[in-house]
Amino acid sequence: MSMNDGEVHLLPLIDNNDFDNSSSESEDDDSIEVVSNVDEEENKIIDMTKYLTFSSDDESEIDDNANDITLLDNHIIHCSNINDRTRSSAPDGTCLDSGSDVSDDDVNEHHPSNECATNSTSYSLPVVTDVSGSKNDTKKTSKRKRRQWSIVEKLNAINTFKSNGSKHRTAVEHGCTTAQLRKWLNCENELLNIVKSRKRRRLGGAGKKLKYIDLDLKLLVWFRERRGKIDSNSTTCNNNLNIPREKVTLKQLRRQGVKLSVELNHEPPSCKWYYRFLSRHRLSLQRPKRQQKIPLTDAYKHVTSFYSYIRRANKWGPKRGPMGAFTPRDICNMDESPLELFGDQSKRSINDIGTSNDIEGHLTNKRFATLILTVFAEDNSRVGPILLFKGQGRVAATEKGQYAQGVHVFFTPKGVINGTTMDRYVQLWWSKVKDPHPKLMIADSANSHLNADVIRDLRKKRVVVAIIPKGCTMYVQVLDVSVFSVFKNHYDDVVEEYIDHNGPRSKIKLTASQSRILCTRFTWSAWLRTLKTIDFRKAFRDIGYVWSDDSPFSLRTMPGYTFDPSSADWVSSMNDENDTEDRIDIVADKASEQQQHTQSLATRSKQLTLFNMWKK
C-alpha cells in the first residue's frame, strides 16, 4: 500500500523515540491521549433476561395444533406441521382453497364460518382440502391484507383495463378488487395531475374533517406575517424583495390561537391540534440557523455586485473562451475550516431510550488543525490540502517522512492562518498553477485575505482577486456550499474505518507527533474521495463562477434570487471605460512599481549602524 492511495490512513505508525522528544512543544497531548482502565469483563456481562423471555408451553401448543381437525361446510382444515405448512402456503402468505368459484369482491367479505381457528402461538398457515379428495383442484382464495397502492400501480391497472376491457381480469392480474379498480377509474384525472405535479402524492379528501376552519386560516396568515415563505420560482425584483424571518415558537403559536379563539367565540383547541396544524401546512419545529450578519435584502445587493465584478473581470484580458479572459481551469476558490483529529464527535449516535448516552474515550471538539482547501472548476490535482498545526515547526525528520505526500503542513503560533502564512500559501499556490494566462482567485473577506502586500503580490502575478462580501459566503462560496460538508463526511468515514481497524477508541493512545501524522493521512484519504464524489465543473456553474452564455441563473442557497446579465440595469453598469483587454497587464505593472517603491523606501529608512557611519 503506497502513501498516495485512498487507504493511506490505515498504514501502521512507526514507533520511534524521536516522537516523544519532538512533540514536547505541542500543547495538544492532553486532548489526544486517553487513559482508561475500564474492566472489559464487566462490560461483557449483560443481563439477557431483560431482553429475552421464554415460555415452556410454546412447543406443546404447537404440537397440539398439529393434530387439530375442524369440520366446516363439507371441508376439512388440516393444521399440519411446520414443514408441511411452509410448503403448502402461497408465496404471498395466503391459504390454498379448492371451494366453489368466488368473485374477488366476495373474497373481501367477512364470513365467520369460514375463518381458520388457530392457536395464538401457532405460526402455521391453514391448508383447505376438499372432502372428495381432490388434491390438485385448488385455488387461491385468501383474505387480502390491507396495503398501500402507489400512484404508478393504480395507473398501470387503469391502462390494463383500457387494453382488455374487463374489470375482473384486470383485478385478478394486478391483485386488487373490482371495487378498488372502479374508484381508480373515477379519479383517473386526479391521479395524472398528481404525477405531473411535485406536491405530495396523495389524493385529497381523506382523514378527519377540520373543525376550526376559520382559526386555521387566520393562524396561518398570522404565521406568514412573521415567517414569509420564499418562492424559488418568483420573478420579482431582487432589490424589492423583503421577506420577514422572525422566530416563531410553538408557545407563541398557541397563545395566538387562544386569542383568535376568543375572537371567533369558540373554545381554544387542544395542544394536539397545533401539531396537526404544523403537519397540514408542512411546518415543523427546527433548530434556528446562525444569525445572518446582514439582512437578506442587503445580501441580494452585495451578491449582485459580486457577480457583476466577476463578469467585468473577464473583459480585462484577451478573450480565450465563452466567458472571456478566464477559462474554468483559471478560476479557483480558497478558504479555511477548523478540523478535529477524530472528526465531529458530538454527532448523534444510537442508544437505548431513556438511558444516558455515555461514550468510552475522550470526547473533544477542540480545534486540532486548520484545513485550507483550494478548488478549481477543472484540474483539482494541482493544489492539495494544507494543514495548519499549532507550534513552531520543530519536528523530527522521521515525522515529516510519514506525512501523506499530497498534504502540505504549515506551523503557526495559534494554529490559524495569519499574514505570514497567507504569503507562504500564495507562493505555494503560484508554484503549482503558474502559466502565461491570468487567473481569478475568489476568497472571503477575512483579514488575512485582505492583506495589502498579498493582494499586491497577486496582482503582480496577473491574478485578479475577487472578495466575497461580508456575510454572503454561505450563499455564494462554492467551498461552503458544496465542498466542505462532503469533505467532512468523508473525513468522518475515514476516521471510523481507522477506529474499526485499530480500536476500540478507548484503547487508542497517540503522541502529538503521531496525531499530526494521522491527521495528514485522514485528510489525504478524505480529499481523494471528495475529488471522486463532486462534479466541480457543475458546482462552479451552479454557483455562478463559470458560464457558457448570458442566460439568467438562480442560486439554490438564495431562494427568490436571480442574476440576469442581460438586464438593462446590469448592462448599463458594465459600460466602464477602464474595462479594456489590457487592464490586467496595466494593473500588474502598477503593482510591480509599487512594490519596488516600497522596497526602496524601506531601504532608505533603515537605521544605519555605527560601522556604516564611520565608513567613508
String of DSSP letters for 98-143: --S---HHHHTS--GGG-----TT-----EEEETT--SS--EE-PP
- Give the residue ranges of DSSP H helices in 175-295: 178-186, 188-196, 213-226, 250-263, 271-280
Measured CA to CA, the distance from residue 139 to residue 104 in angstroms comes to: 12
The predicted structure's pLDDT at residue 383: 94
**Which residues, 6+ apart, have CB-to-CB distance to 398 below 8 Å?**
14, 16, 18, 19
- How large a percentage of the chain has pLDDT more than 90? 38
The predicted structure's pLDDT at residue 567: 76
The predicted structure's pLDDT at residue 38: 41
Measured CA to CA, the distance from residue 428 to residue 408 in angstroms comes to: 9
The predicted structure's pLDDT at residue 261: 94
Measured CA to CA, the distance from residue 83 to residue 124 in angstroms comes to: 9
Average pLDDT estimate for 52-78: 40
The predicted structure's pLDDT at residue 20: 45
DSSP state of 272: H
The predicted structure's pLDDT at residue 390: 93
Measured CA to CA, the distance from residue 556 to residue 543 in angstroms comes to: 8
Answer whether residue 215 shows pLDDT above 90. Answer: yes
Average pLDDT estimate for 511-536: 94
The predicted structure's pLDDT at residue 11: 82
Rg (CA), the chain: 36
The predicted structure's pLDDT at residue 57: 44
* pLDDT tens figures, 553-572: 999 888 888 898 887 566 65
Three-class SS state of 39: coil
More confident residue, 364 or 436: 436
Average pLDDT estimate for 45-57: 44
> Which range, 17-26, 207-216, 281-290, 428-437, has the best average confidence (pLDDT)?
428-437
Answer whether residue 483 shows pLDDT above 90. Answer: yes
Mean pLDDT, the chain, rounded, equals: 76
Preceding omega of 504 cis (within 30 degrees of 0): yes
Helix or strand run (H / E) with residue 429: helix 419-433
- Give the residue ranges of DSSP H helices in 434-477: 452-460, 473-476
Answer whether residue 81 shows pLDDT above 60. Answer: no
Answer whether residue 511 shows pLDDT above 60. Answer: yes
The predicted structure's pLDDT at residue 336: 95
506: cell is 478507548
The predicted structure's pLDDT at residue 615: 54
Answer whether residue 45 shows pLDDT above 60. Answer: no
Q: How many CB atoms lie within 10 A of CB 291?
A: 5
Three-class SS state of 463: strand
Answer whether residue 117 shows pLDDT above 60. Answer: no
CA angle 209, 211, 214 (to 5 degrees): 120
180: number of CA atoms within 13 Å, CB side?
Answer: 21
The predicted structure's pLDDT at residue 351: 74
> Which range, 12-21, 34-43, 120-129, has the best average confidence (pLDDT)?
12-21
More confident residue, 229 or 264: 264
> Which range, 30-39, 91-100, 362-371, has the best average confidence (pLDDT)?
362-371
Answer whether residue 2 shows pLDDT above 60. Answer: no
Looking at 111-125, 165-179, 494-508, which range is the least confident one? 111-125
Measured CA to CA, the distance from residue 323 to residue 315 in angstroms comes to: 9
Answer whether residue 147 shows pLDDT above 60. Answer: yes
Measured CA to CA, the distance from residue 499 to residue 484 in angstroms comes to: 22
Answer whether residue 452 shows pLDDT above 90. Answer: no
Phi and psi at 412, nearest 5°, equal: -130, 160
Helix or strand run (H / E) with residue 97: strand 96-97
Three-class SS state of 62: helix
The predicted structure's pLDDT at residue 110: 42
Name the pLDDT band for 416 (thresholds 50, 70, 90): very high
β-pair partners for 69: 78
DSSP state of 150: P
Average pLDDT estimate for 24-41: 42
Answer whether residue 102 shows pLDDT above 50. Answer: no
**C-alpha dihedral sign at 212, 216, 217, 222:** positive
The predicted structure's pLDDT at residue 531: 95
Residue type at 215 in one-letter notation: L
* pLDDT tens figures, 377-414: 999 999 999 999 999 888 999 999 999 989 999 999 99
Measured CA to CA, the distance from residue 341 to residue 516 in angstroms comes to: 8
The predicted structure's pLDDT at residue 12: 80
More confident residue, 434 or 37: 434
Cα–chain center distance at 334: 21
Answer whether residue 148 shows pLDDT above 50. Answer: yes
Name the pLDDT band for 468 (thresholds 50, 70, 90): very high
Phi and psi at 390, nearest 5°, equal: -85, 125
Average pLDDT estimate for 437-453: 91
Using an 8 Å Cβ cutoff, are 171 and 185 in contact? no
- Integer distance in angstroms from the first to the last C-alpha of the chain? 66
Looking at 132-136, 318-322, 494-498, which range is the least confident one? 132-136
Name the pLDDT band for 134 (thresholds 50, 70, 90): very low
Strands 463-467 and 439-443: parallel
- How large a percentage of the chain has pLDDT more than 70? 67
* pLDDT tens figures, 153-194: 999 999 999 999 999 999 999 989 999 999 999 988 888 888
DSSP per-residue letters across 371-387: EEEEEESS-TTSS--EE
Answer whether residue 233 shows pLDDT above 50. Answer: yes
pTM to 2 decimal places: 0.61
Using an 8 Å Cβ cutoff, are 104 and 170 in contact? no
- The candidate with the shortest Cα–Cα distance to 490, out of 372, 344, 369, 289, is 344
Answer whether residue 235 shows pLDDT above 90. Answer: no
Name the pLDDT band for 121 (thresholds 50, 70, 90): very low
The predicted structure's pLDDT at residue 598: 75
CA distances in angstroms from 515 to 9, 106, 389, 403, 544, listed in the order given: 12, 72, 11, 11, 39
> Which range, 114-118, 315-319, 391-395, 515-519, has the best average confidence (pLDDT)?
515-519
Using an 8 Å Cβ cutoff, are 331 and 464 in contact? no
Q: How many CB atoms lie within 10 A of CB 535?
A: 10
* pLDDT tens figures, 322-369: 999 999 999 999 999 999 988 766 666 777 777 777 766 655 667 899
